[in-house]
Chains A and B, each alone.
Chain A
Amino acid sequence: MRAVATTTLIKGARSTRSTIALKLLMAASGIVFILFVLVHMYGNLKAFSGELAFNEYAEHLRTFGEPMLPYGGLLWIIRVVLLASLVAHVGSAIALAKRAHAQRPVKYSVKKNKASSLSSRTMRWGGVALFLFVVWHLLQFTIVKINVGAGGQAPEVTENPYRLLISAFQPEQWWMVIIYLLAMLALAFHLHHGTFSAIQTLGFTNTAESRARARVAGWVVAIVVAGGFSLVPLFTVFGVIS
């Protein structure tokens, strides 16, 4: 996987280490993330059903599969899968980005983008932005449970998922709503190209029609996921969810 030019023919190179194998790894791990955000978004929408339904759903995620699984067992399985996918996704992204940089040491002084979408050209930095957001998001709602609103770190807020959520997106914390909406915009961009790219990398776009369908899939996933996620902070800051 070193980017070194050669003058000889390569024999016996391992295709499992090839650029396309890395892309397949990115596509597969990306699909894990797409499935995850779809389920996560569905869970968030429970906020519209009120405190009881939302907290019940959160608890249900922990008791799911009992007694075959211990309490919280499913969540831990999901966490391990997500973490492994993250390592695969970021690892291959870094390896491929390094190759790309090594391949063009002298930049063009004039270069036009004719066919690529803005979302496709912002995958790398957009990915970094999403990573930073996920770190903050996990600290806020899972690891530390940071209450940015009234009541501080009182357990009746931090140990109540619904109240922690409501407290985060009150009008006094309008900036938190902005952060989340910007993150969802970044997610929409990433999913718009990522979904299409994954389908293409897996080799399912062998005609113009199937390629067009894959592009539609990118739009649908981006709008459904980012739109669905954005509903909760928006409806909370405007007082519909309280």
Chain B
Amino acid sequence: MKLTLKIWRQANASEKGALKTYELDGVSQDMSFLEMLDLLNEQLLQNDEEPVAFDSDCREGICGMCSLMINGEAHGPEVTTTCQLHMRSFKDGDTITIEPWRAASFPIVKDLIVDRSAFDRIIQNGGYISANTGSAPEANSVPAPRDKAMRAFNTATCIGCGACVAACPNGSASLFLGAKITHLGELPQGQPERYSRVQTMLAQHDAEGFGGCTNIGECASACPKEIPLDVISQLNKDLRKSLILG
């Protein structure tokens, strides 16, 4: 396959960036999207050019490190992470525009790499349960209803990649926040801190500068883990209850 790539190049957080066009030949349909970028970088290095900086880690769709806005879609056209996207989703001769997540709360580090530590701080501000460490308790001593356990499990699949923020026209992290609130709030272990958690995590979300939710659903369609929009309803419900409880 021969591709035309338009890639956002930006030297660092303070410099202005721009889209730069590259021609890349010899791309196999079996390559992952990141392997295609690896190939481009080899070519750039041979030409003594600066390689394109992008994030990746596990390359098996579970760590949440890769990102990329590909032709206007977070993680590209398939419902998966960029690392699990393969070049068979594209055609020979395609032009592919690759941009970083665009959000003031995710400042660009270099090229396609953004700093997503705002998510870490949201987690730090209540996104956990307080439990004594040491010997693990007997698993069956705390019964969890199956439907709640399943919902908690499904929402816990959020890998914090930030696609929801990238796809949202408001740059809201409501889907991420809702996934964490639902995941912890559905289980018995999450109950003691349930209503303080939603307040502190939301306070951090707002302080980081993320936008408000307009319930349009772009986030859920971009989510590689298919977190449904109803976690935002759960988030809203828990916040509403916490306001009444005081």
User: Is A4 touching B243 in the complex (CB atoms < 8 A)?
Assistant: no
A16 CB–B CB distance under 8 Å: yes
User: Is A104 touching B103 in the complex (CB atoms < 8 A)?
Assistant: yes
A99 CB–B CB distance under 8 Å: yes
- In the complex, which residue of chain A has the Cβ closest to the Cβ of B17? A106
Q: A19-B212, A110-B72 are in contact. Are A211 and B229 (CB under 8 A)?
A: yes
How far is it, in angstroms, between the C-alpha of A120 and the C-alpha of B229 when the chains are bound? 15
Q: A121-B169, A205-B233, A208-B228 are in contact. Are A5 and B72 (CB under 8 A)?
A: no
- B56-87 vs A: 1/0 string, CB under 8 Å? 00000000000001011100000000000000
User: Is B221 touching A115 in the complex (CB atoms < 8 A)?
Assistant: yes
User: Is B236 touching A20 in the complex (CB atoms < 8 A)?
Assistant: yes
**Count of chain A residues with a beta carbon within 8 Å of a chain B beta carbon:** 55
- B197-240 vs A: 1/0 string, CB under 8 Å? 00110111111111111111110111000001110111111111
User: Is A114 touching B232 in the complex (CB atoms < 8 A)?
Assistant: no
Closest CB in chain A relative to B151 CB, distance in Å: 9
Most chain B CB atoms below 10 A, which of A4, A112, A113: A112
Chain A residues, CB < 8 A from B216: 115-117, 120-121, 193
User: Is A109 touching B97 in the complex (CB atoms < 8 A)?
Assistant: yes
User: Is B218 touching A116 in the complex (CB atoms < 8 A)?
Assistant: yes
- A1-41 vs B: 1/0 string, CB under 8 Å? 10111111110010110111111100000000000000000
Most chain A CB atoms below 10 A, which of B71, B125, B215, B234: B215
Chain A residues, CB < 8 A from B230: 205-208, 210-211
A131 CB–B CB distance under 8 Å: no
Chain B residues, CB < 8 A from A111: 69, 72
A67 CB–B CB distance under 8 Å: no
B170 CB–A CB distance under 8 Å: yes
Most chain A CB atoms below 10 A, which of B125, B170, B172: B170
Chain A residues, CB < 8 A from B220: 115
Closest CB in chain A relative to B135 CB, distance in Å: 30
Binds B, one of A56-64, A142-150, A196-204, A231-239: A196-204
A188 CB–B CB distance under 8 Å: no
A102 CB–B CB distance under 8 Å: yes
How far is it, in angstroms, between the C-alpha of A216 and the C-alpha of B163 when the chains are bound? 28
User: Is B236 touching A5 in the complex (CB atoms < 8 A)?
Assistant: no
Closest CB in chain B relative to A122 CB, distance in Å: 11
Chain B residues, CB < 8 A from A100: 169-172, 211-212
Q: A5-B118, A10-B203, A18-B206 are in contact. Are A103 and B107 (CB under 8 A)?
A: no
Chain A residues, CB < 8 A from B221: 114-115
User: Is A103 touching B121 in the complex (CB atoms < 8 A)?
Assistant: no
User: Is B212 touching A106 in the complex (CB atoms < 8 A)?
Assistant: no
How far is it, in angstroms, between the C-alpha of A103 and the C-alpha of B164 when the chains are bound? 13
With beta carbons under 8 angstroms apart, the residue of A9, A21, A196 that contacts B215 is A196
Q: A3-B104, A6-B207 are in contact. Are A23 and B170 (CB under 8 A)?
A: no
How far is it, in angstroms, between the C-alpha of A128 and the C-alpha of B64 when the chains are bound? 39
Q: A20-B202, A104-B103, A203-B234 are in contact. Are A197 and B215 (CB under 8 A)?
A: yes
How far is it, in angstroms, between the C-alpha of A203 and the C-alpha of B19 when the chains are bound? 41
Most chain B CB atoms below 10 A, which of A6, A104, A105, A107: A104
A47 CB–B CB distance under 8 Å: no
User: Is B104 touching A104 in the complex (CB atoms < 8 A)?
Assistant: yes
Chain A residues, CB < 8 A from B111: none
Chain B residues, CB < 8 A from A7: 117, 121
Chain A residues, CB < 8 A from B172: 19, 100, 103
- B31-68 vs A: 1/0 string, CB under 8 Å? 00000000000000000000000000000000000000
How far is it, in angstroms, between the C-alpha of A208 and the C-alpha of B229 when the chains are bound? 9
- A185-201 vs B: 1/0 string, CB under 8 Å? 00000000100110011
Q: A110-B97, A200-B233 are in contact. List 4 more A-B contacts (CB 8 A).
A: A21-B239, A96-B212, A114-B222, A203-B233
The 9 closest A-B pairs by CB, nearest first: A203-B237, A103-B171, A13-B203, A115-B221, A100-B170, A19-B212, A116-B216, A110-B72, A112-B72
Chain A positions near chain B (C-beta within 8 angstroms): 1, 3-10, 13, 15-16, 18-24, 96, 99-100, 102-117, 120-121, 123, 193, 196-197, 200-208, 210-211
Chain B positions near chain A (C-beta within 8 angstroms): 6, 17, 19, 69, 71-73, 97, 99, 102-105, 107, 117-118, 121, 124-125, 167, 169-172, 199-200, 202-218, 220-222, 228-230, 232-240, 242-243
